[in-house]
Amino acid sequence: MSADTTPIDTRAQLAERERHVSGDELEELRHAIRDFLTAKSPSSAVRTLMMADAGYDPGVWLQMARELGLHGIAVPEEWGGAGAGMPELVVVFEEMGAALLCAPFFATVALAASAVLASGDRAAMADLLPRFVDGTSMGTVALNGTLEAWTPDSVGASARSTPDGFRLSGDLPLVLDGHAADVILVAANTDRGVSLFAVAGTADGLRREQLVTLDRTRKAARLRLDDVPARLIGDDGAAAPVLARVSDLATVALAAEQLGVAQRSLDMAVRYAKDRIQFGRAIGSFQAVKHRCADMLVLVEGARSAVVHAAQVADTDELALAASVAKMTCSEVALQTALDSMRIHGGIGFTWEHDAHLYVRRAKSTELILGSPGYHARRLADLVTI
């Protein structure tokens, strides 16, 4: 039997709400999140958690979910969320990127919750979304077993139907927070096409191997599926458009993270340029440093425009185009500003003790997740010529 996939018509409500969301309200949200992350995700906490196997603080995770309501900010009220949209969600991700928050928030919110919502499977929504929203469960999505851009022909896992349900097999080399996820949503090929399945983190036949990656503030794991029991989400063979939308929404969220990295790199550089004295003057008064900071500001503001636009069109047919523009732009800007910040800091910026290299690592890793700038440039060329 196919799952109940009755669509939830929230576009009208979201459009009406977004007409009344002011810039002041978004700034209030930003300041609340920033204050929380300043207290809970300082550099010392980031450095401790990035070296720990779990990679996150359970207490902070629950506070984010239950006190701030961040996990459900874009989840409809019917499932325990706040019923907001991408404009609010990108503010959250920008601030988390700026703080280098160590937590499976992107995997759970931008990937897993988005996939369940996009599937239209009301039974899965009722079961999984409340647990994601209140922080009880962590989730992730294996779009193609790697962290590259998703396409229908990139799905590597396979599923077979049995009298007792579906069974999944395959090797998933890179899955964000796959080591800790309680629910792993896996794209797999069946006789009917690409389908989406939910695998319990404790399922028989599931093997998980945590990996050491360039960006230690974000964990990844290799998963092996050996005839693992799985639950079909949505209809068999109908997941391709669902996963395409999830990929685009996650791409916008990731671009917002990159914007946060770029903004914080700029802020760090400007602060240091004001405080560092050479030859009796702040180095920010030197033309070369002054011009570099000005160039960084121009890049950051351009990236911000791309993210804001992508968030505003998230419920329209322009999403794919805007997501690629945002990702291509923010990938380049995040890496450039992180490197420039390191250079402005001089010798100390290249040391392990300084945080500049952490932002370079995050910028470089996110540049490759969900498609490189080159991939999105080619995608844009295809989209605008269709």
Contact by Cβ (8 Å): 349, 279: no
| Rounded percentage of the chain residues whose pLDDT exceeds 70 | 94
Q: Please tell me which residue, 162 or 3, carries the higher pLDDT value.
A: 162
Q: Bridge-partner residues for 160, per DSSP? A: 167
Q: Which CATH architecture has domain 141-239?
A: Beta Barrel (2.40)
pLDDT value of residue 6: 39
pLDDT tens digits, 267-278: 999 999 998 888
Task: Flag whether pLDDT at 3 surpasses 50.
Answer: no
The H-or-E segment that residue 272 falls in is helix 240-275
pLDDT value of residue 285: 82
CATH of domain 11-106+116-137: 1.10.540.10
What is the topology classification, in CATH, of domain 241-385?
Answer: Butyryl-CoA Dehydrogenase, subunit A; domain 3 (1.20.140)
| In the block, residue with structure tokens 């007792």 | 164
pLDDT value of residue 386: 59
Query: Where is average pLDDT lowest: 85-89, 166-170, 288-292?
Result: 288-292
Q: What CA–CA distances, in Å, run from 53 to 49, 97, 240, 364?
A: 8, 20, 33, 22
Q: Is 32 exposed, middle or buried (0-12, 13-18, 19+ CB in 10 A)?
A: middle
For residue 58, the tally of other CB atoms under 10 A from its CB is 10
Q: Bridge-partner residues for 172, per DSSP? A: 223
Task: Flag whether pLDDT at 161 surpasses 90.
Answer: yes
Q: What CA–CA distances, in Å, run from 316 to 14, 15, 54, 282, 311?
A: 12, 11, 37, 48, 10
Task: Flag whether pLDDT at 95 surpasses 90.
Answer: yes
**Are β-strands 277-278 and 220-233 bridged in parallel, bridged antiparallel, or unpaired?**
unpaired
Phi, psi of 163 (to 5 degrees): -60, -25
pLDDT band at 9 (very low <50, low <70, confident <90, very high): very low
What number is the average pLDDT over the span 101-125? 97
What number is the average pLDDT over the span 102-109? 98
pLDDT band at 4 (very low <50, low <70, confident <90, very high): very low
Q: How confident is the prediction for the chain on average, in pLDDT?
A: 92
What number is the average pLDDT over the span 304-312? 97
Contact by Cβ (8 Å): 167, 228: yes
Task: Flag whether pLDDT at 16 surpasses 70.
Answer: no
Task: Flag whether pLDDT at 305 surpasses 80.
Answer: yes
Task: Flag whether pLDDT at 116 surpasses 50.
Answer: yes
Measured distance CA(52)–CA(49) in Å, rounded: 5
Domain spans in the chain, listed from the N-terminal domain onward? 11-106+116-137, 141-239, 241-385
pLDDT value of residue 15: 40
pLDDT band at 10 (very low <50, low <70, confident <90, very high): very low
Task: Flag whether pLDDT at 2 surpasses 80.
Answer: no
For residue 9, the tally of other CB atoms under 10 A from its CB is 7
Cα torsion through 111, 37, 256, 333, rounded to 10: -130
pLDDT tens digits, 212-261: 999 999 999 999 999 999 999 999 999 999 999 999 999 999 999 999 99
pTM confidence score: 0.92
Measured distance CA(257)–CA(373) in Å, rounded: 15
pLDDT band at 30 (very low <50, low <70, confident <90, very high): very high
DSSP 217-229: TS-EEEEEEEEEE
Contact by Cβ (8 Å): 331, 365: no
Q: What CA–CA distances, in Å, run from 258 to 70, 81, 97, 219, 233?
A: 19, 25, 6, 17, 31
Total number of residues shown for the chain? 386
